[in-house]
Amino acid sequence: MNNTRLMPFIERLVCILALAGGAASPNPIAAAQDTASGAKPAIDSSADGHARGGHGQQPAGVPATAAGNMLVVDAQRLQSIGVKFEVAKRTEVTKTIRTVGQVVPNERLVADVNIKIEGWIDRLLVNTTGEQVKKGQILFTLYSPELVATQQEYLLAVQAVQRLGDSQFKDVAEGARSTLDVARRRLQLWDIEDYHITDLERTGTVLKTLPIHAPLSGTVTEKKAVAGMHVEPGDSLYTITDLTRVWVMADIYEYELPLIAKGLPVSVSLTYAPQQTLSGTIGFIYPTVDEQTRTARIRVELDNQAELLKPGMYANVELDIPLGNRLVVPKDAVLESGERRIVFIHHMDGRLEWRPATVGVRGGDWVEILTGLAEGEHIVTTANFLLDSESQLKAAVGSMQGMKH
């Protein structure tokens, strides 16, 4: 590409500098024409010049400096118009991902209470939603004619074994024990506790109703049982949820998925209690991406002994992901121009070199530089004249793809 196409932009840039307080050089237009035509600006090659430049050797992966990508501006003028510099450095980078999640029950700690026999609820002992129950606590008592008949059958089988268990007729003794085993097995399949069966054998008294117990400790999150209610096998009567461990479901953008993994620490806080932060881990990354939002769902597992987190709440989720030691620059030092990213290198004495760079991950106010820059080089971080001429600069840089360095 002919460098003369850059002349309108360079002339406008020099005019901006002149308006800011004077010419950028003794003959700024001539200097700009020399730059565009390929003439190399004067560069201090002394040892002192290299020391002040901050990089005596050409960095690996960086093309040799050419006249077409150099600007010469008086150093005092750079200072007067607010140009600031910083040294490219290697440092430990941490990327923070912030999102919003929703608290849901831990699916492993949810129990549905139902029965496997037809009957009627006689006494309802746990009768409010939200009530705390302990494992083994009696929820209600059930009357069932079939249950009463099976108890009677069981007692008869016990008596038969007692009378015929030692019979000299082997078939008779085995038949009595088989009948007893069948009756016991039927009671067990109806979720009748073993100690109730033992009490039945010991007392020989058929119970009109039998208690139904809580399968785990937790909170009654749903209750359909009503005293006197007729129930059939499979009817859901209670839902009991242990809320001492909960999940937070959060959405992560698909471009962030390569950075996260199962087991990564997560911080969770609530809007109404920002001073309290809970620590958890990513327990699962769901295998699908939402087609509308382009996000994937993660499951954060948390201890919730105080039950501060309640199902349905929204929570702030924060992931700090260590990215290791990387070469970084401030994000304002990288000029985005369509498909290209440009950084400006300060060679001291007013010499500015623009250079294409390849960027990597971003973390906070830092951007990783993969190619185009070396550690220790001085880079432009803020420049009023670049901002004032942003449109011209982007247009010119976008047309440089065909230039040879």
Give the Cα separation of 377 and 88 in Å (integer): 6
The alpha carbon of 385 is separated from its chain's Cα centroid by a whole number of angstroms, namely: 40
- The edge-to-edge listing of strands for the beta sheet with 119-124 is 209-213, 138-143, 119-124, 230-231
Nearest CA to 315 out of 272, 282, 284 is that of 272
pLDDT digits (tens), the chain, 405 positions: 444 444 555 555 555 554 444 434 444 434 444 444 444 333 333 333 333 344 434 444 443 333 457 777 776 766 666 777 788 888 888 888 999 999 999 999 999 999 888 999 999 999 999 999 999 999 999 999 988 888 888 888 888 877 765 655 666 667 777 888 888 888 888 878 888 888 888 888 888 888 899 999 999 999 999 999 999 998 999 999 999 999 999 999 998 899 899 999 999 998 888 788 899 999 999 999 999 999 999 999 999 998 889 999 999 999 998 888 888 888 877 877 667 787 888 777 767 777 888 888 877 778 888 888 888 888 887 753 454 354 355 445 555 554 544
Whether 103 and 246 have beta carbons less than 8 Å apart is answered as: yes
What lies within 8 Å, CB to CB, of 364 at 6+ separation is: 94, 95, 96
Token pair listed for 256: 């962030």
SS3 327: strand
What's the whole-model pTM score?
0.65
